[in-house]
Structure 1
Amino acid sequence: MEMCYEVICTFLLLALLAYLLTRNHTRRPQAKVKLPPGSMGWPYIGETLQLYSQDPNIFFATKQKRYGEIFKTQVLGYPCVMLASPEAARFVLVTQAHLFKPTYPRSKERMIGPWALFFHQGDYHMRLRKLVQSSLAPENLRGLVPDIEATVISMLDSWDGHVVKTFHAMKKFSFDVGILTIFGGRLEEHYKQELKRNYFIVDKGYNSFPINIPGTLFHKAIKARKRLRQMLGEIMSERRKKGVMEKDLLGCLMDSSGDKDEHLSDDQIADNIIGVLFAAQDTTASVLTWILKYLHDNPKLLEAVKAEQMGIHGTNGYGKQPLTWTQTRGMVLTHRIILESLRMASIISFTFREAVVDVEYNGYLIPRGWKVMPLFRNIHHNPEFFRDPQKFDPSRFKTAPKPNTFWPFGNGVHSCPGNELAKLEIFILIHHLVAKYRWEVEGPQSGIEYSPFLVPKHGLPAKLWRASVISSSGAA
């Protein structure tokens, strides 16, 4: 992994800042139960440089090989316990989830909004989760198929004949689908463009060093976040004036009332709208980018997927009839490819939790206040659960994986509520892509970048052309 000097210095400063802010609030571990094995690294810095100056998968795998499936470290100034077994991940995320809370840096909460559901536990979290899940239920997703299909057709048409950075294109696509989900395709164009412009400013500043000084990415992002809140307030106000509550996500949030008939405040609604946009974008865009690469690198598999999709395409009169929800449910091979891409790429390599009390697990102490990181990638790439794990092999999903060994959307009360929407986006895009187009990757064929999600080198630049056009190389 390549990393410039400035980025490494940023991590050093962030580690020092985190240490200074938290050193007086971290309890000394109890002496009776031992801490997990491992190294805490340098004072203040811990092992931040080792994690962020190389492929993080190498860091995790090396640690697991040396210390086993539970080990301690220190990252960004925080003492951490990393867990690499299915049983441990389930312990933290499902069976004893009440002992661990979601944890994010304050700068992330400020950027998205403190009322976003994934920053919370308890009754408020469950209320918001039910609202989001109901708006993304299959009966509601059915109605989105025509609009998502139109978005896919328009995007691929604009890409035709050009070299595009796949990841960037897929981020825009995922954002557009997020807008459809939230506003139901009824958002005025000027709002859509302003939301997009300001959202991407926030997105750039989200992972920047959190110094609110004019000219920095973080400062620009904070200002853009305020504009997003203002626009969302205007949209909500206009809806109330019309007196009609739509059945999209925004309408669902605005119309909701709790046990005591209290409605969500506009700040609560806005924070959750922005949170859904964040949750719906980078992860889906990353998976789509990897799928294009995996298919490009496996011509026989690509032909098999094409055969499946051309069967559906032919049933629809080769484009004369629209794709249907039922047809997306019948894309068996394509579904296996999605699952194997999620396993192979493991876009979300781990998740962060924080122990709210001292916890004992398998004879080891996890002290209150320590970060806890279930390592999904280590589980997904464990040969005990997935034979020949470095090989891209969708056929492995002809049978279900062993319980608790496949966590592409997390698990428990904080699992991703939008996983079916993400799959629907992918089904529709893959259908039109392989049935109508061919593509060729430009530049390096290997290498990975971390932004912070794993994506192929340079965002996978690729040239796309309609199937009726034959390239000079004959590649497809």
Structure 2
Amino acid sequence: MVGSLVFVFIFLFSLTSYLSLRRGKREPQRRAKLPPGSMGWPFIGETLQLYSQDPNVFFASKQKRYGEIFKTHILGCPCVMLASPEAAHFVLVTQSRLFKPTYPKSKERLIGPSALFYHQGDYHLRLRKLVKGSLSLNAIRNLVSHIETAADSALDSWDGGRVINTFQEMKKFSFEVGILAIVGHLKDHYKEELKKNYCILDKGYNSFPTNIPGTPYKKALLARKRLSQILSDIIRERKENGLVEKDLLGCLLNSKNEKGEALTDDKIADNIIGVLFAAQDTTASALTWIVKYLHDNPKLLEAVKAEQKAIHKLNEGGKQPLSWSQTRKMPVTTKVILESLRMASIISFTFREAVADVEYKGYLIPKGWKVMPLFRNIHHNPEFFPDPQKFDPSRFEVAPKPNTFTPFGSGVHSCPGNELAKLEMLVMTHHLVSKFRWEVIGSENGIQYGPFPIPQQGLPARFWKEFTSRKESRVPTHSRF
């Protein structure tokens, strides 16, 4: 049950947003009508309905009733929801200039106002080119052995049969890889300070945004200041040593605009923290779902094991490192990853805001309204993916129809680090299935959000190296591999 404080917060937030919207509201043009749908109660709209049930059920029921374009009112904002590939492509690609990214100011304060995903125009294009270039296929191919080391270290720490929170452990792994790709090999004290303060920021990101001392949000703001200082020290040291690296930090430091101006340290810090934030939870969530889906599909697990153990054998039982070319030749595992991304839909939707009155298929999207392409609804549409609730990697033997599969978003604001994320998943899966067996604790199949979807309780599980013996656990377990 949603707590009373949450209801009070939702009401006050919605009331404030509603009154602000009313002050700047103008009459919509008469040439087009608003999409069908319900705006719910005054002030609070349908926010309580959304948060009192699975968001996917909420959106799916709306689509079933009103079609692929419908309106609602959540978190104080009138919204138009889009559940068709064509509509999502219209907003994110062909007419992206008419829809700007939008985030709460409380979130911007924690990440940094200069982070690329808060912007449009020339600044965004410049930063996106830098980020995408530093995380391109050519750039990350040299990271395979380092990602292997991180995966081995993570898995070794899980060995022995103690119950772990799979999601939290995957977050530690993805943080290590993120740091490696973004700022390279750091001194231990820098890495520990980054990790400690980033963890505080992460915990406060989705908390109630208040400046009261001792609250998670206030702690997160203080941690954000410390992160800026740590990064400033790293930047100063790299400049003093005259190091020219090809990681993201190196790309940002060496960049100059058409006037010959370099990025300020604050802008560099905002973008480093932004990329790290965007990369960690999403990749960790996807990896956690991969563990669960393999757990739930024993025959499929055996097929993935056979593929990865063949590579493991070629590498003399792990004595030789995994090569870049080997990661490009994992067809079974790759299809499992793609199907996991479709089923879980880590990025279930995205927020945009109309910067002008926009007409689409006879419907009006008024200026200032939020627009939400619903990726999950598209990924679970039986028209594009037959029997969508069934985990079936073979569906990716044929490429999906255009714009129907967008696990990393679409258009100029799609994830620039998607190739790094997929490489992480391939390397971790290789080491997991070729060296370990595991059992998932409990039998819950629900989903929780924080904000990305993860299995209930982060998927508690026990892991053992295959060549080690173990005593039977006293805790009831399910599906051992």
With normalisation by structure 2, the TM-score equals 0.96
Please identify, of 412-421 and 259-268, the stretch whose mean Cα deviation from structure 2 is larger: 259-268
Q: Which residue of 1 aligns with 2:248?
A: 249
Deviation at 1:182, TM superposition (A): 1.1
Pair 1:127-2:122 in alignment: no
Distance across 1 between alignment mates of 2:264 and 2:24: 32
Distance 2:80 2:150 in 1: 43
Contact preservation (8 Å) 1:444, 1:457:
no
Code of the aligned partner of 1:124: Y
Which structure 1 segments of 5+ residues have no match? none
User: In 2, Cα distance between the equivalents of 1:13 and 1:160?
Assistant: 48
Structure 1: distance between partners of 2:4 and 2:440: 30
Secondary structure, aligned partner of 1:23: helix
Aligned to 1:313: 312
Match of 1:181 in 2: 181
Counterpart of 1:164, as a letter, is I
Looking at structure 1, the residues matched to 464 and 8 of structure 2 have their Cα atoms a distance apart, in angstroms, of 43
Are the aligned partners of 1:27 and 1:369 in contact in 2 as well (CA < 8 Å)?
A: no
Structure 2 residue aligned with 1:110: 109
For 2:247 and 2:411, the matched residues in 1 are separated by 25
1:346-378: per-residue Cα shift (whole Å, max 9, x none)? 111100000000000010000000000000011
Quick check: 1:222 aligned with 2:216?
A: no
Name the counterpart of 2:70: 71
Identity of aligned residues (%): 69
Contact 1:14 1:209 in 2 (8 A): no
Cα pair distance change 1:346/1:156, threshold 3 Å = same
Give the aligned partner of residue 406 of structure 2.
407
Q: How does 1:221-370 map to 2 (within 5 A)?
A: 221-370=220-369
Deviation track 1:81-101 (CA, whole Å, cap 9, x = no partner) reads: 000001100000011111100
Q: Is residue 347–residue 452 contact of structure 2 (8 Å, CA) maintained in 1?
A: yes
Distance 1:210 1:316 in 2: 51
Q: Do residues 163 (structure 1) and 163 (structure 2) align?
A: yes
Structure 2, gaps ≥5 residues long: 474-478
Instruction: Give the Å deviation of 1:24.
Output: 1.6
After superposing the two structures, state which structure 1 stretch, 354-363 or 7-16, moved more: 7-16
**Matches for 1:50-65 after TM superposition, within 5 Å:** 50-65=49-64
- Secondary structure of the 2:23 match is coil
- Kept in 1, the 8 Å contact 2:440–2:480? The answer is no
Supply the AA of the counterpart residue of 1:178.
G
What SS class does the counterpart of residue 360 from structure 1 fall into?
strand
Mapping for residues 323-472 of structure 1, pairs under 5 Å: 323-470=322-469, 472=472
Decide whether the 8 Å contact of 1:16 with 1:76 is kept in 2: no
Measure, in 1, the Cα distance between the counterparts of 2:213 and 2:21: 27
CA distance in 1: counterparts of 2:70 and 2:156, whole angstroms: 50
Q: List structure 1 segments (4+ residues) > 3 angstroms apart after TM superposition.
A: 2-10, 20-23, 469-474
Give secondary structure in 1 for the equivalent of 2:26: coil
Q: Secondary structure at the residue paired with 1:349? A: coil
Once residues 53 and 376 of structure 1 are traced to their aligned partners in structure 2, the CA distance between those partners, rounded to angstroms, is 21
Aligned residues: 474
Q: Give distance in 2, aligned partners of 1:63 and 1:245.
A: 53
Q: How far does residue 22 in structure 1 lie from its aligned partner after superposition?
A: 3.5
Cα deviations by residue, 1:379-430 (Å, 9 ceiling, x for unpaired): 0000000000000000000000011100101111000000000000000000
Q: Offset of 1:275 from its aligned partner?
A: 0.2
How far 1:4 moved relative to its partner?
4.1
Give me the TM-score of the superposition, normalised by structure 1.
0.97
Q: Which residue of 1 aligns with 2:40?
A: 41
1:172 aligns with 2:172: yes
CA–CA separation in structure 2 for the residues paired with 1:463 and 1:127: 45
Counterpart position of 1:154:
153
Q: Deviations over 1:110-130 (max 9, x none)?
A: 110010000000110000000
Which segment is superposed worse, 445-454 or 464-473? 464-473
Q: Is the 8 A contact 1:349 1:375 kept in 2?
A: yes
Mapping 1:89-104, distance limit 5 Å:
89-104=88-103
